[in-house]
């Protein structure tokens, strides 16, 4: 008190500390995704929490990004392949929820055919061309533009060369070339003649 006489009183208080051990739950659960080559990924997930969400994350930050609204996007141009990623979200008490998914980029683009040449002798011809991706080789040919004959190779290459044998000398032949990649995207160029 004002006269500096001490008075000691004891009070007992009880506190209850609630520790959050409940992880977030998925509202929109991550699932496997497929996009076409050249497309951009924009995939929305969502989680909720009994207290408060903190951050979304993805383990492959070289190829993907995820914002704090739960939208996954590609961070770079994606190759044709399957990416296995883990998407996570944690709450403010650091309780973690995660799910592994795959993101598949499928090839839907046909090969580009260029540099077509025909090297001709008396009864043979070699048809050559290039493609910008691995693909097979096929030549349709004949003495009319309906062709009628075919020769090819199933090997996947970018430099193509097909021999045509048993041709009639001094005869005009028509031909075109085709190439299909391993995803069965095909391109044809022609009609040409020799």
- Ramachandran region of residue 73, left (φ > 0), alpha (ψ -120 to 50) or beta? beta
Burial class (CB in 10 A: 0-12, 13-18, 19+), 5: exposed
pLDDT tens digits for range 77-94: 999 999 999 999 999 999
d(CA 35, CA 33): 7
The answer to whether residue 133 scores a pLDDT higher than 80 is yes
Cα–Cα distances (Å) from 147 to 37, 85, 91, in that order, read 34, 49, 68
d(CA 190, CA 174): 9
Q: Could you tell me if 129 and 177 are in contact, meaning their C-beta atoms sit under 8 angstroms apart?
A: yes
Closest of 85, 164, 79 to residue 128, by C-alpha: 164
The answer to whether residue 100 scores a pLDDT higher than 70 is yes
pLDDT tens digits for range 5-63: 777 777 788 777 778 889 999 999 999 999 999 999 999 999 999 889 999 999 999 99
């Amino acid at each position: 008190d004002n006269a500096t006489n001490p008075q000691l009183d004891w009070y007992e208080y009880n506190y209850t500390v609630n520790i959050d051990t409940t992880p977030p739950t998925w509202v929109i659960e991550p699932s496997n995704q497929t996009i076409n080559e050249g497309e951009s990924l924009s995939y929305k997930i969502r989680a909720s929490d009994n207290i408060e969400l903190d951050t979304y994350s993805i383990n492959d930050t070289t190829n993907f990004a995820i914002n704090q609204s739960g939208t996954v996007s590609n961070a770079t141009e994606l190759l044709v392949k399957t990416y296995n990623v883990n998407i996570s979200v944690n709450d403010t008490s650091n309780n973690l929820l995660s799910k592994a998914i795959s993101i598949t980029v499928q090839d839907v683009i046909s090969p580009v055919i260029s540099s077509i040449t025909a090297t001709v002798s008396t009864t043979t011809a070699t048809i050559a061309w290039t493609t910008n991706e691995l693909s097979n080789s096929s030549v349709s040919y004949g003495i009319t533009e309906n062709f009628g004959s075919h020769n090819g190779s199933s090997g996947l290459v970018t430099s193509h060369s097909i021999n045509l044998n048993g041709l009639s000398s001094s005869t005009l032949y028509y031909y075109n070339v085709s190439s299909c990649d391993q995803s069965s995207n095909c391109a044809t160029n022609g009609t040409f003649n020799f």
